[in-house]
C-alpha cells in the first residue's frame, strides 16, 4: 500500500509517525529491546503525549535475526506462521558500547545506533547488507472513510545500487520484482494476471540475504515502487514482525529459510513419471479412461499416474467423495484394474461442499462449515450451487473431512489433487475465533495439511504426494504444487515458467504445470514445445479444460515427442531423485533459476526463459513454433546432452531446434547417473547404472551419491585430470562409467579407469 504522495508529502487522509531515534536499548531474555519515540527527545517534556514504537531484536536460528515492531503491545497479536526455532543450546551474542548495541549470529549482525536519527543496520563480514533508516520504521493512521482502513505498521529496507529482488511466491510477471507492487493475498486469478495462487511474504536479493514477514494475512509490498531506494512492506494492525535471513549465497538463504519454515517432504519416485488426466469438463467413463491408457501403452508411451478430474463425482455434488455410479459403477474394481497395469491413481478434490451433496446437511448440522457472524452457514453459488466451506479450525471438522479421504485411499486412490483453497471469504466466523483476514492465506495450509496427513498415515512418509494449487509460507512441506490455470499459448507457457522460477525462489522444491496449457486447446506446435519443457521439470502432467490431452489427438509427431522426452526423463531418474532428496534435506529446489547456481554472474540476473534442472543440466525451452531459441551459457565448458557438441561459455547462443529437440546442456565437471530403464520412474537405480563423466581439463575430485527409492544408497568417488577420469564405488556394486561421448566401461572390483581424453 502506498502512503506517500511523492517524496515530500503524505497521501490525503494518511498520517504517519516514524521511529525517530533509539532512545534507550535494553537486553532482556536474549533479546534487544529498543524504545523508539516518534520524535527526538530533547527534554523531559518531549516524552509527554508522544507515541513510541517498541522494536525487539532476537535470533531464532543461526544466521537469522528477527525484528518485531510494536505500537500497542496489549492488542491481540496478529497470527504468524509456525516457525522452527533453535533449541535452548543456541544463544546469539549481544553487545553494547557507547554508540550502539548489537545482536549477532556468527558473522551476521544487527546493530542499532543510539540516539538520532533512527538507524538499524544488518551486516556481515563488516559490510552492510541492508538497513532501516530515517522514515523507514513507521506507524500509519488513516482518517475515517479512507479505504482500506488503518492503522498500519510498515518497514522500509534499503536497496543498494544494482540490488535485485526475487521471490514473493509463485508470480507470473517479471522474475525481478523491482518496481512492482505485490499484494500477498491468495486469489484464483489464473497465470496471466498480477494475482497468485501461492503468495509468500518472503523475498531474497542478490546481496546475500532474504526477508520473511511473519504475518499470515495481507502483506503489501512496494518493491522500489514508492520509495525507489527501498523495499516497503506493511500490514494492518499494531505490530509487524520480520526476519532477515543471511546467506550469503542464494542456496544458503533458501536452506536457512526452509530450516525456519519447514523443508519439503520426500516425494515418491513414481510421482516423477508422466501423469495423464481426464481433463476438466470432458466426457469420460471407465471405457474412455482405458482407451487412453491402452493407447499410451500401444504407442510405447510410459505412463505412471492417471488422474481423475472433477467429474469422477456427480455434477452439483462436489464434493461428496462418491464415484458417480452412472459412469463408474465399480470403482474398487476399476482402481484394481488400473493398479494391475502398473499405474497410480490421483483424484481431484476441493474444500467446498455443494448444497446438493448429501454431506452438506451432515456437515452443517455438526457445525463443520464456516459460518457467518450471525450463525448462518456461509454459502454462495460461485463454483458450485449453494456451496459451503469446511472449517478446518474445528478439529472435529478436520477429522470428518479426513474420514472421507481415508475411504478413498482404502479403495485404492494413491494421491489427491487439492484444487482451490484461494477463494476464502472474510465475512465469516471461524470455530477457533481466528481473524478471517489472517486466515485467508493460511486456510490453504490447514486444507492441505488435512489431506497430506491422511496420505502419510495411510501410505507412509515418503509415499505421500499432493498435486496442490494454493499455498503460502510452509506450503513447501507438502509437495507437489502446480502452476494453475494457464492458457494454451506460447506466451502462457513462458509466464508459467516465470511462475515456477519465482516459486523456486520462494522455497518450493517441487513444481509442475499443465502441459499444453489449461484453457483452450493448444495447436500441435504449442503442445509439442510444452511437452518437451514439461517433461524436463520435476513433475509432468498432461491436463486441460475442455479437450483430451492424449498426444495422438494433436499429430503423430506429438506422440514421438512425448515418447522421446518421457523416456529421457525416466533414464535421468537417478539424477532427478537425488535432486529431490536434496530439496528435502537442504531446501534447494529441483528446478533452479539461473540465479541460484550462478549468483556471481551478472549476466544471469534477469534470465527467466531458461533454468537449471538440478545442479548440472541447463534447460532452455523453445517458446515458438519456428524452433528459434536464444539462451545464455555461463562460464565453463558445456556439452549438449542430445548431440555431444561442446561449447565454451560464457556467451549467448541462438539455436534452431525441431520439435524433437531442445537445448539441454551439461555443466563442466558433472557426473550424470543414468538409469538402465526408460519404462517407469520407480526402479532400482543401481541396477545397470551408467555414470557419465563430463570432466574438466584441470584436476578435480568429487563425490556422487545415488539413492534408490527403497533407501539403498551407493557412494562413488570421481577424480578427473587432463580429460581422464577414475571412478570408484564404496561397495561391490556392478556399474558402468564413461566419458561423455565415449563408450561405457564396466567396473571391475568396484572401480573404473577411463583412459580416453575428453579433447
pLDDT average, residue stretch 380-408: 97
Q: Does residue 75 carry a pLDDT above 90?
A: no
Q: Are 95 and 104 in contact (CB under 8 A)?
A: yes
How far, in Å, CA of 746 to CA of 669, rounded? 21
Q: Does residue 88 carry a pLDDT above 90?
A: no
Q: Does residue 60 carry a pLDDT above 90?
A: yes
DSSP-assigned states of every residue in 595-617: HHH-TT-GGGTT--S-EEETTTE
How far, in Å, CA of 721 to CA of 222, rounded? 51
pLDDT digits (tens, 9 = 90+) for 120-168: 999 999 999 999 999 999 999 999 988 888 899 999 999 999 999 999 9
- The count of residues in the chain is 759
Kindly give the pairing relationship between strand 31-37 and strand 219-223.
Answer: unpaired
How far, in Å, CA of 425 to CA of 386, rounded? 14
Which 8-state DSSP code applies to residue 686? T
CA angle 175, 179, 184 (to 5 degrees): 70
| Buried/exposed 265-280: b ≥16 CB within 10 Å, e otherwise | bbbbbbbbbbbbbbbb
Which 8-state DSSP code applies to residue 387? B
How far, in Å, CA of 493 to CA of 514, rounded? 9
The confidence score (pLDDT) of residue 731 equals 82
pLDDT digits (tens, 9 = 90+) for 242-281: 999 999 999 999 999 999 999 999 999 999 999 999 999 9
Kindly give the pairing relationship between strand 690-693 and strand 736-739.
Answer: parallel
Give the fold, CATH level 3, of 269-586.
Answer: TIM Barrel (3.20.20)
Q: Does residue 78 carry a pLDDT above 70?
A: yes
Q: Does residue 759 carry a pLDDT above 80?
A: no
Element (H, E) at 358: helix 358-366
Q: Are 664 and 617 in contact (CB under 8 A)?
A: yes
pLDDT average, residue stretch 555-578: 98
Cell of 677: 530403464
Give the lowest-confidence range in 71-80, 568-577, 639-648, 739-748: 71-80
pLDDT digits (tens, 9 = 90+) for 276-297: 999 999 999 999 999 999 999 9
State percent of the chain over pLDDT 90.
Answer: 94
480 preceded by cis ω (within 30°)? yes
The confidence score (pLDDT) of residue 29 equals 82
Class of domain 4-261 as given by CATH: mainly beta
Question: What residues does 139 pair with on adjacent strands?
Answer: 17, 153
pLDDT average, residue stretch 56-75: 96
The confidence score (pLDDT) of residue 203 equals 98
The confidence score (pLDDT) of residue 758 equals 46
Give the lowest-confidence range in 147-151, 480-484, 659-663: 147-151
Which 8-state DSSP code applies to residue 582? H
Please tell me the pTM assigned to this model. 0.97
CA angle 639, 643, 649 (to 5 degrees): 25
Alpha-carbon Rg for the chain in angstroms:
27
- Strands of 602-698, DSSP E: 611-613, 617-619, 628-640, 646-656, 664-667, 671-674, 690-693
Which 8-state DSSP code applies to residue 653? E
Which stretches within 299-394 are classed as H helix? 331-340, 358-366
Place domain 597-665 in its CATH homologous superfamily. Answer: Golgi alpha-mannosidase II (2.60.40.1180)
Residue with cell 535475526: 65
Domain ranges, ordered by start, for the chain: 4-261, 269-586, 597-665, 684-754
* Residues contacting 403, CB < 8 A, separation 6+: none
How far, in Å, CA of 511 to CA of 488, rounded? 19
pLDDT average, residue stretch 437-452: 97
pLDDT digits (tens, 9 = 90+) for 192-244: 999 999 999 999 999 999 999 999 999 999 999 999 999 999 999 999 999 99
Cell of 119: 538507524
Q: Does residue 556 carry a pLDDT above 80?
A: yes
Mean of all residue pLDDT scores within the chain: 96
Give the lowest-confidence range in 7-21, 79-93, 628-642: 79-93
Bigger pLDDT: 756 or 210?
210
The confidence score (pLDDT) of residue 721 equals 84
Active-site positions read 419, 422, 485
Q: Does residue 693 carry a pLDDT above 70?
A: yes
Q: Are 452 and 445 in contact (CB under 8 A)?
A: no
Question: To the nearest 5 percent, what fractions of the chain are helix, strand and coil?
Answer: 20, 30, 45
CA distances (Å), 712 to each of 264, 317, 707, 731, in order?
A: 21, 45, 6, 12
Cell of 635: 562460464
The confidence score (pLDDT) of residue 756 equals 63
pLDDT average, residue stretch 365-377: 98
Kindly give the pairing relationship between strand 514-515 and strand 540-542.
Answer: parallel
Element (H, E) at 293: helix 286-298
pLDDT average, residue stretch 499-519: 98
Same topology between domain 4-261 and domain 597-665: yes
The confidence score (pLDDT) of residue 757 equals 57
Amino acid at each position: 500500500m502506498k502512503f506517500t504522495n511523492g517524496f515530500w508529502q503524505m497521501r490525503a487522509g494518511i498520517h504517519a509517525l516514524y521511529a525517530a531515534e533509539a532512545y534507550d536499548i535494553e537486553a532482556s531474555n536474549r533479546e534487544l529491546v529498543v524504545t523508539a519515540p516518534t520524535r527526538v527527545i530533547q527534554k523531559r517534556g518531549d516524552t509527554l503525549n508522544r507515541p513510541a514504537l517498541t522494536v525487539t531484536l532476537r535470533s531464532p536460528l543461526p544466521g537469522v535475526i528477527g525484528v518485531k515492531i510494536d505500537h500497542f503491545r496489549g492488542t491481540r497479536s496478529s497470527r504468524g506462521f509456525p516457525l522452527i526455532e533453535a533449541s535452548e543450546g543456541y544463544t546469539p551474542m549481544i553487545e553494547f558500547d557507547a554508540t550502539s548495541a548489537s545482536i549477532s549470529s556468527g558473522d551476521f549482525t544487527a546493530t542499532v545506533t543510539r540516539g538520532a536519527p533512527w538507524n538499524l543496520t544488518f551486516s556481515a563480514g563488516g559490510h552492510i547488507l541492508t538497513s532501516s533508516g530515517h522514515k523507514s520504521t513507521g506507524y500509519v493512521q488513516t482518517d475515517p472513510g479512507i479505504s482500506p482502513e488503518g492503522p498500519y505498521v510498515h518497514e522500509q529496507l534499503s536497496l543498494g545500487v544494482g540490488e535485485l529482488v526475487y521471490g514473493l511466491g509463485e508470480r507470473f510477471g517479471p522474475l525481478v520484482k523491482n518496481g512492482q507492487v505485490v499484494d500477498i493475498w491468495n486469489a484464483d486469478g489464473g497465470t496471466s494476471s498480477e494475482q497468485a495462487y501461492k503468495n509468500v511474504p518472503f523475498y531474497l536479493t542478490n546481496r546475500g540475504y532474504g526477508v520473511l514477514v511473519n504475518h499470515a494475512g495481507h502483506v503489501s509490498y512496494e518493491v522500489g515502487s514508492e520509495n525507489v531506494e527501498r523495499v516497503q512492506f506493511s500490514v494492518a494492525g499494531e505490530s509487524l514482525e520480520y526476519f532477515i535471513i543471511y546467506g550469503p549465497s542464494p542456496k544458503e538463504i533458501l536452506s536457512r529459510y526452509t530450516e525456519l519454515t519447514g523443508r519439503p517432504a520426500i516425494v515418491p519416485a513414481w510421482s516423477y513419471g508422466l501423469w495423464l488426466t481426464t481433463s476438466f469438463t470432458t466426457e469420460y467413463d471407465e471405457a474412455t479412461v482405458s482407451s487412453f491408457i491402452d493407447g499410451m501403452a500401444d504407442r510405447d508411451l510410459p505412463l505412471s499416474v492417471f488422474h481423475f478430474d472433477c467429474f469422477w463425482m456427480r455434477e452439483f455434488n462436489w464434493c461428496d467423495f462418491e464415484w458417480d455410479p452412472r459412469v463408474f459403477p465399480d470403482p474398487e474394481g476399476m482402481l484394481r484394474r488400473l493398479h494391475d497395469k502398473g499405474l497410480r491413481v490421483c483424484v481431484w478434490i476441493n474444500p467446498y461442499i455443494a448444497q446438493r451433496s448429501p454431506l452438506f446437511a451432515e456437515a452443517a448440522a455438526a457445525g463443520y462449515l464456516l459460518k457467518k457472524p450471525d450463525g448462518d452457514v456461509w454459502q454462495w453459488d460461485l463454483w458450485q450451487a449453494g456451496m459451503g466451506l469446511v472449517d478446518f479450525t474445528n478439529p472435529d471438522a478436520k477429522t470428518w473431512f479426513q474420514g472421507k479421504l481415508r475411504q478413498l485411499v482404502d479403495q485404492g486412490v494413491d494421491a489427491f489433487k487439492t484444487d482451490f483453497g484461494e477463494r476464502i471469504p472474510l465475512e465469516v466466523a471461524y470455530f477457533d475465533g481466528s481473524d478471517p483476514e489472517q486466515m485467508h492465506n493460511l486456510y490453504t495450509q490447514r486444507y492441505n495439511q488435512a489431506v497430506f496427513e491422511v496420505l502419510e498415515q495411510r501410505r507412509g512418509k515418503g509415499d505421500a504426494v499432493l498435486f496442490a494449487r494454493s499455498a503460502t509460507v510452509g506450503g513447501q512441506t507438502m509437495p507437489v504444487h502446480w502452476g494453475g490455470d494457464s492458457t494454451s499459448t506460447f506466451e502462457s507457457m513462458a509466464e508459467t515458467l516465470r511462475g515456477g522460477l519465482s516459486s523456486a525462489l520462494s522455497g518450493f522444491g517441487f513444481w509442475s504445470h499443465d502441459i499444453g496449457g489449461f484453457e483452450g486447446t493448444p495447436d500441435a506446435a504449442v503442445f509439442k514445445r510444452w511437452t518437451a519443457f514439461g517433461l524436463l521439470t520435476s513433475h509432468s502432467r498432461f491436463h486441460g479444460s475442455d479437450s483430451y490431452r492424449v498426444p495422438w489427438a494433436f499429430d503423430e509427431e506429438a506422440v514421438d515427442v512425448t515418447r522421446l522426452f518421457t523416456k529421457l526423463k525416466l533414464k535421468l531418474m537417478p539424477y532427478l531423485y537425488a535432486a529431490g532428496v536434496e530439496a528435502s534435506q537442504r531446501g534447494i529446489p529441483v528446478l533452479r533459476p539461473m540465479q541460484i547456481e550462478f549468483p556471481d554472474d551478472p549476466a544471469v540476473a534477469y534470465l527467466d526463459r531458461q533454468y537449471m534442472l538440478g545442479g548440472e543440466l541447463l534447460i532452455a525451452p523453445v517458446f515458438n513454433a519456428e524452433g528459434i531459441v536464444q539462451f545464455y551459457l555461463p562460464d565453463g565448458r558445456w556439452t549438449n546432452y542430445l548431440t555431444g557438441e561442446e561449447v565454451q561459455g560464457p556467451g549467448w547462443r541462438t539455436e534452431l531446434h525441431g520439435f524433437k529437440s531442445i537445448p539441454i546442456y551439461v555443466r563442466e565437471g558433472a557426473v550424470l547417473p543414468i538409469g538402465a530403464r526408460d519404462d517407469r520412474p520407480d526402479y532400482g537405480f543401481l541396477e545397470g547404472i551408467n555414470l557419465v563423466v563430463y570432466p574438466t581439463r584441470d584436476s578435480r575430485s568429487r563425490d556422487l551419491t545415488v539413492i534408490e527409492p527403497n533407501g539403498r544408497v551407493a557412494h562413488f568417488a570421481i577424480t578427473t585430470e587432463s580429460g581422464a577420469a577414475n571412478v570408484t564405488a564404496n561397495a561391490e556394486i556392478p556399474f558402468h562409467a564413461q566419458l561423455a561421448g565415449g563408450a561405457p566401461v564396466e567396473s571391475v572390483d568396484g572401480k573404473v579407469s577411463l583412459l580416453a581424453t575428453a579433447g
